[in-house]
Amino acid sequence: MEYPDPNYTRIKGWGVDADPKNDPTYPMKKYTGDDHRRLDYRRPPQQVAEVEVLHSNERPGLSAVFGTRQPPSGLSGQLRRFAFRYSENSFAHWLPLLLADRVNVAEGILDDFRNGIIPNIMREKGMGAEWKYNRKKLIKKAVITLAVSLALLSFLRKDRR
């Protein structure tokens, strides 16, 4: 067979992993037949859950290991618990989780204040990098925001009079 451009064969490593049997698929898994045993295998020792860990209702319980940071708490936690009543097949699972994430952001700011931290939101948004590498755009954005704010303010004042 003739290939379209012979130059590519000079690329270092060209064709080293080519396999003529590679059609239509490549062997991606070492098939063992163990799938048919389902969950009947010797599981690793179970990690003890010392905090609340939510698990999908599409599995019988917790996986043998799991992360324990940020257990559900507050209003976002309630939303997450609600979400986990539904399977991964349901929007009633995912949409409350997305909502919980947004609620959690507000909770995070309150937590910061509670812990004596004043969040430096501009810094958290990486404005240092923006100032360093994209200063013109940043200044332009700031000027436009200021101008729109001032225009809105003066309109509201005028309206009040």
Residues 74-93 that bind other proteins (CB under 8 A): 76, 80, 88, 91
Cis check for the bond before 24: say yes or no (omega within 30 of 0). yes
Residue 155 Cβ, how far from other proteins at the closest point, in Å?
A: 28
Residues 120-149 that bind other proteins (CB under 8 A): 120-121, 123-130, 132-134
Q: What is the SS3 assignment for the chain? A: CCCCCHHHHHCCCCCCCCCCCCCCCCCCCCCCCHHHHCCCCCCCCCCCCCCCCCCCCCCCCCCCCCCCCCCCCHHHHHHHHHHCCCCCCCHHHHHHHHHHHHHHHHHHHHHHHHCCCCCCHHHHCCHHHHHHHCHHHHHHHHHHHHHHHHHHHHHHHHHHC
Closer by beta carbon to other proteins, 137 or else 155: 137
Residue 143 Cβ, how far from other proteins at the closest point, in Å?
A: 19
Residue 139 Cβ, how far from other proteins at the closest point, in Å?
A: 15
Residue 54 Cβ, how far from other proteins at the closest point, in Å?
A: 7
Using the rule CB under 8 A, give the single segment among 4-12, 140-148, 149-157 that binds other proteins: 4-12
Residue 146 Cβ, how far from other proteins at the closest point, in Å?
A: 21
Q: Tell whether residue 52 is a contact of other proteins (CB under 8 A).
A: no
In the set 92, 108, 148, 151, which binds other proteins (CB under 8 A)?
108
Q: Tell whether residue 14 is a contact of other proteins (CB under 8 A).
A: yes
Torsion sign, CA atoms 57, 58, 62, 66 = negative
Using the rule CB under 8 A, give the single segment among 115-123, 142-150, 153-161 that binds other proteins: 115-123
User: Which residues lie below 8 Å from residue 59, measured CB to CB, with a gap of 6+?
Assistant: none
Using the rule CB under 8 A, give the single segment among 28-36, 143-151, 152-160 that binds other proteins: 28-36
